[in-house]
Amino acid sequence: MIMSSCADYKSQEFDVTKPASIEGMEYLNKYDALKTYIDRAANPNFKLGAGVSLSDYNSKGVMYRLITSNYDEITLGNEMKNESVVQADGSLSYGNIPSLLQEAKDAGITVYGHTLVWHAQQRAKYYNSLIAPTVIPGTGGPSFFPSDITNSTFDTGISGWGGWGLQSTRTWAQGEGPNGTNALKWNNTQAGQSWEAQVAVDFPTALIEGEKYVLKFQVKSSVAATVSANLQDPSNYAGRGDFGSFPVTTAWTQDSLTTTVNGANAKRFLFNFGNVAGTIWLANVTLSRVNTAGGGGTTWKELVTNGNFATNDLTTSFFFTSNANPQLVNDATKGQVMKIASPTILTNDWDMQFWVLINPPAKLNEKYKFSMDVRSDADCSFPTQSHYKPQDYIFYDMVGSIKSTTAWSTYKYDLTIDANRIGNRDGIGSIAFNLGKIATTVYIKNVSLTKEVQTTGDQIIEKTPEEKKTILTGALETWIKGIKGVSTYVKAWDVVNEPMSDYPDPTKLKTGVGNANLAANEFYWQDYLGKDYAATAIKLARQNGNPDDKLFINDYGLEGNLTKCQGLIDFVKYTDDACKTLGVKGVDGIGTQMHISLDVNKDNIVQMFKLLAATGKLIKISELDMGLGGSPAITTPNATNDQYLKQAELYRFVVEQYFANIPAAQRYGITQWAVTDSPAGSGWRPNEPIGLWTISLSRKHAYGGFANGLAGKDVSATFK
């Protein structure tokens, strides 16, 4: 023991390589808080923002401290949106919003309002109830509401009816229905399970859950068999009501089947014919809701879609000769109207025409009411015709001769279809308006063609487009006045979010028209308030907010689609002009979301910033986050260090290009939408490494890239 304790100590020489993870942490730890890298002298009004949930911020935990130390401003992801505040009965509940605003104010953090008008996350059921038809209850025994299937007699074809399975085909069977009427003909070359070949029709709105429906139809088959019919939720193929099985024979039979809707989103009706190797004919298909109250009356069903031209759809209810060249323009009195110029006198009045389509086609003894608002640059009149379909003439003077002056007037015409108008074939499919000899320009608004419907149930009175617009403008005011009133601390807002379409034309506004699969919380204000809906929202926001509030119009995908970017810019210009008409200040700024990945086109990013800067508006990167690309997207467990370095470089590029291309006076700021990587169960880019911190709140290379971009230089030696 004495000898060992007195032995000389000799140091052992070891050369240990520092782990890459430790080296990376050391490099990142040399950075200061993000907001310290902003040159405040050159950017006195610039705000570095972060997206955050209300609960994460109000809890005053680690996320609260991280946000407060690194950022100037916060944007709530969901809690200030319409659906979170507006309740099922239309009342407003602000929850913890007031406490959050106070917490932010105490911390010296500003709050950005997100969002006043959007199509998603809306209290859609409530708003739809406001504009629903007025129902006058009937009396007596059980009866039926009108059919939910519009193309039920196949008079003009089989549009609206889809089909699939077992290489089957469906065709329009003219004259092959009962007593020489029309039918839908379905052919299977092979037999399988009943559900393996189907013919289906979708409804624009869901059938009412818990209500009873009666299905009536005529059917025959080339072979005897037993088939079935049911209702379905097309979003997930779940059954929503079963009419059961029924026999088909080689002779026409009349069937009547009943079911009760047993779930939400019942928007599809199906015949299941997959077990029949042969041909089946369907005719006169109706699906009617049972009205237990009974009674009856007369209602008028509107046949014209977008007759007020609130959206840009001119294809559903209108048709034009090639020289008509319709345009949608803004009128100071009427808003968006249809303009058709016919400056020279042509040989015949029918050498320039437009048609209003009638679906389903008019039949003998049916009653209709036609009306439209019209004016022209010079006094004129133009005649009308009835056609089976456009350019298939039947009869002159369908709804009289339209007289137009330089002042707006409303033209009305009531008619009953008689033998002259209908010709020797059953079904007027369109009304022609002949402009060939007017030698001026006409402007048209509020085109309406309603059909008398005799019901044996309650009377259903549809609201007019103007009534719907008035009602919803009031509802929009209630929402904006309420949220602005409780949020006086908020001085900047997305007044309109994501207005532009993606397909087919990104220069047009989004619309819900024609979409049979709207989500339960989708509501398109523009479909009812028209193209001026943004100006209306701005007016309400300015009337009910702070005098110096900054109001933005915000959209996504602008860096990936420069046509959409220009379309948004044009819409902002349109909205500014509409705001002038309303006597209020227009748009203050434009937000570009920038949910991007490593495969983004860098040249497009630069061009986007230049296009936005040229507007002279404040420009904000409103929801920046960045994935690693791939299809499917690369997830956090599969990410490599090289990909993280490229992510850091791209974050730096985006931030530097913002400062390089947006003039100082127009730099509102940049908001990082995902502070941390996204958890696996998230509803937003799940399990993608999109943030500046990991889920465990460790800094990533992206943090360094972002900081270098803010500073405009390498703040710390770059880790490789």
Distance CA 182, CA 172 (A): 8
Q: What confidence tens digit (pLDDT) does each residue in 402-426 have? A: 999 999 999 999 999 887 777 777 7
Task: Tell me how far apart the alpha carbons of residues 661 and 401 are, in angstroms, rounded to a whole number.
Answer: 58
**From CA 664, how far away is CA 46, in angstroms rounded?**
9
29 token code pair: 């730890």
DSSP 490-552: --EEEEEE--B--SS-TTSBP--TT-TT--TT---THHHH-TTHHHHHHHHHHHHS-TT-EEE
Distance CA 349, CA 439 (A): 10
Assigned fold of 78-132+463-593: TIM Barrel (3.20.20)
Beta bridge partners of 230: 242, 270
CATH 2.60.120.260 fits 306-453, yes or no: yes
> Residue 143: its pLDDT value, please?
60
User: How confident is the model at residue 480, as a pLDDT?
Assistant: 98
Concatenated DSSP letters of 154-199? -SS--TTEEEESTT-EEEEETT-SGGG--EEEEE-SS---GGGSEE
How many C-beta atoms lie closer than 10 Å to residue 520's C-beta?
12
CA 414 to chain centre: 36
pLDDT of 440 reads 97
Low-confidence ranges of the chain (pLDDT < 50): 1-22, 719-720
Q: Phi and psi (nearest 5°) for 295?
A: 90, -165
Cα–Cα distance, 698 to 691 (Å, whole number): 11
- Give the other-Cβ count within 10 Å of 45's Cβ: 13
Closest CA to 489 of 543, 548, 534, 540: 548
- Report the Cα–Cα distance between both ends of the chain, in Å, rounded: 51
Measured distance CA(262)–CA(282) in Å, rounded: 26
> In Å, what is the CA distance from 135 to each residue of 55, 65, 458, 470?
43, 55, 6, 19
Could you give the CA distance from residue 403 to residue 375 in angstroms, rounded to a whole number?
9
Pick the CATH number of 143-295 from 3.30.230.10, 3.40.50.10470, 2.60.120.260, 3.40.50.300: 2.60.120.260
Which pLDDT score, from 0 to 100, does residue 353 have?
A: 97
Beta strands in 251-392 (DSSP E): 253-260, 266-272, 279-291, 297-302, 318-320, 327-331, 335-342, 353-362, 367-376, 380-382, 384-387
| For the chain, domain boundaries | 78-132+463-593, 143-295, 306-453
Q: How far, rounded to the nearest angstrom, does the alpha carbon of residue 233 sit from its chain's CA centroid?
A: 19
Asked if 78-132+463-593 and 143-295 have one fold, the answer is no
Q: How many CA atoms lie within 13 A of 719 on its CB side?
A: 25
